[in-house]
Amino acid sequence: KKARPFNFSAGPAALPEEVLQQAAAEMLDWQGSGMSVMEMSHRGREFISIYEAAEADLRELLAVPREFRILFMQGGGLAENAIVPLNLSGLKPGGKVDVVVSGSWSKKSAAEARRYADVSIAADGAASQYRSLPGNWQLRRDAAYVHICSNETIDGVEFHELPDLKALGSDAPLVVDCSSQQLSRTIDWSRVGLAFGGAQKNIGPAGLTLVFVREELLGHALPICPSAFDYKTVAEAQSMYNTPPTYGIYIAGLVFQWLKRFSYAGKTGVAAIEQRNIDKAKLLYAALDGSALYENRVAADCRSRMNIPFYLREERLNEAFLAGAKERSLLQLKGHKSVGGMRASIYNAMPLEGVQALVDYLKDFEASHG
Ligand code: PMP
């Protein structure tokens, strides 16, 4: 059978082929139930078993502590930019929210939070054109929470360690937009108050949003918060206050099972995928840095493992580069429209061979056009 192309989309993104095949095989009749998962009541025995397994597998994979609730929501990262301040800005009087702006997505988060809260930019990487993480954070003592984006999908800047707010003199909970980072690596929950992300990068189809939230942060929503977005209401209803995105949860569950089986370099699960993600990123950055045609402009200590933006020093070659890539079955390498250039997103489902195929193409294209 013909191999599938390698898909470098930033999201919705490639899924493991095994998962797509299993979903196809179960499409018309899920495990003898006579129903497609799409046709099941979310309150029926069959779907509840799918939901419970997905949640338990995710909790196990990421070693999520008991004091965190996992919510399966809708609206994506952008809706969470409003849902988070609606739920958490009332944690302290004054409704103050500190945001660290490390790129396009955290900038959007700050702008949206301003509609509901008193927002202060604690640090901004604009001066470095978002090529490094901003330092010298100005945190307010009475902030309700501090927001960061742990991986800037457009700028390609990643926190390789979450900040320790206590060490920075703040006792506010840390809120992390981990849309393009979640499940790609282990996470230090001791530093997290709440983490959210759309599923459409490492986890499953668009339409499902994951929220990991400390139990103690529930129950503080502003009166104007829509009930379906009140974390306490969602948590108490096991994510079934309204109809959850059932098919997305099912696919996510298959991805979690795939990841539990996954092994690499003598490791299994998230440790294995993290090691492969490290190896993939190393391979690609080395090829970019070793070339006279391509460049990645992000500081070495905060280069993203997931989203690798790069530019051709000769912009006139952009179209030829993309056309040649497509001929080699390397898809969706065009950079985000706001920054131009190219971007290779290499999420969990991208095998090492996909990155090797891209590196081979980079070299061949440079040899014929350089
Ligand atoms: N935050 C980050 C880091 C993202 O990458 C994205 C989407 N690419 C968003 C937020 C917005 O998410 P959504 O489109 O799911 O609303």
The CATH number covering residue 294 comes to: 3.90.1150.10
Domain match, 249 and 270 both: no
- Least Cα distance to 103 among 159, 161, 149 occurs for 149
Measure the CA–CA gap between 119 and 60, rounded to whole angstroms: 35
Domain finish residue from 205, 237, 259: 259
Please, are residues 265 and 66 in contact by the beta-carbon 8 Å criterion? no
* Residue 231 within a domain: yes
Domain finish residue from 218, 234, 259: 259
- Least Cα distance to 103 among 341, 288, 339 occurs for 339
Domain match, 240 and 271 both: no
Please work out whether the CB of residue 198 comes within 6 Å of at least one atom of ligand 1. Answer: yes
**Whether residue 177 lies in the annotated active site:** yes
The pTM of the full predicted model, rounded to 2 decimals, is 0.98
Site to substitute for ligand 1 among 105, 149, 181, most atoms within 8 A of C-beta: 105
pLDDT at 2 (0 to 100):
82
Domain match, 306 and 236 both: no
User: Does 243 carry a binding-site annotation?
Assistant: yes
Report the chain's terminal Cα–Cα distance, integer Å.
35
How many residues does this entry show for the chain? 370
The CATH number covering residue 103 comes to: 3.40.640.10
Site to substitute for ligand 1 among 109, 153, 208, most atoms within 8 A of C-beta: 153
User: Helices (DSSP H) in the chain: which residue ranges?
Assistant: 17-25, 45-61, 76-88, 104-113, 231-236, 246-261, 269-289, 318-327, 352-369
Please work out whether the CB of residue 158 comes within 6 Å of at least one atom of ligand 1. Answer: no
* Residue 7 within a domain: no
Domain match, 227 and 297 both: no
Q: At what angle do helices 246-261 and 45-61 cross, to 10 degrees?
A: 40
User: Does 242 carry a binding-site annotation?
Assistant: yes
**Whether residue 30 lies in the annotated active site:** no
Tokens linked to 79: 């809706």
Domain match, 142 and 216 both: yes
Please, are residues 189 and 68 in contact by the beta-carbon 8 Å criterion? yes
Mean pLDDT by 10 residues, the chain (370 residues): 93 98 98 98 98 98 98 98 98 97 98 98 97 98 98 98 97 98 98 98 98 98 98 98 98 98 98 98 98 98 98 97 98 96 98 98 94
Taking the CA atoms of the chain, what radius of gyration do you get in angstroms? 21
Domain match, 188 and 298 both: no
pLDDT at 1 (0 to 100):
72
Total number of domains in the chain: 2
Q: At a CB cut-off of 8 Å and minimum separation 6, what does 296 contact?
A: 156, 285, 288, 289, 303, 308, 309, 310, 311
**Whether residue 105 lies in the annotated active site:** yes
Q: Is 27 helix (H, G, I), strand (E, B) or coil?
A: coil
Whole-number Å distance, alpha carbon 111 to ligand 1 midpoint, is 14
Domain finish residue from 259, 278, 304: 259
* The one catalytic residue among 105, 107, 155, 334: 105
Atom from ligand 1 closest to the CA of residue 198:
15
Please work out whether the CB of residue 11 comes within 6 Å of at least one atom of ligand 1. Answer: yes
Whole-number Å distance, alpha carbon 77 to ligand 1 midpoint, is 5
Element (H, E) at 72: strand 68-73
Domain match, 112 and 232 both: yes
Domain match, 145 and 85 both: yes
* Residue 15 within a domain: no
Domain match, 241 and 311 both: no
Range of the domain at 88: 21-259
* Residue 331 within a domain: yes
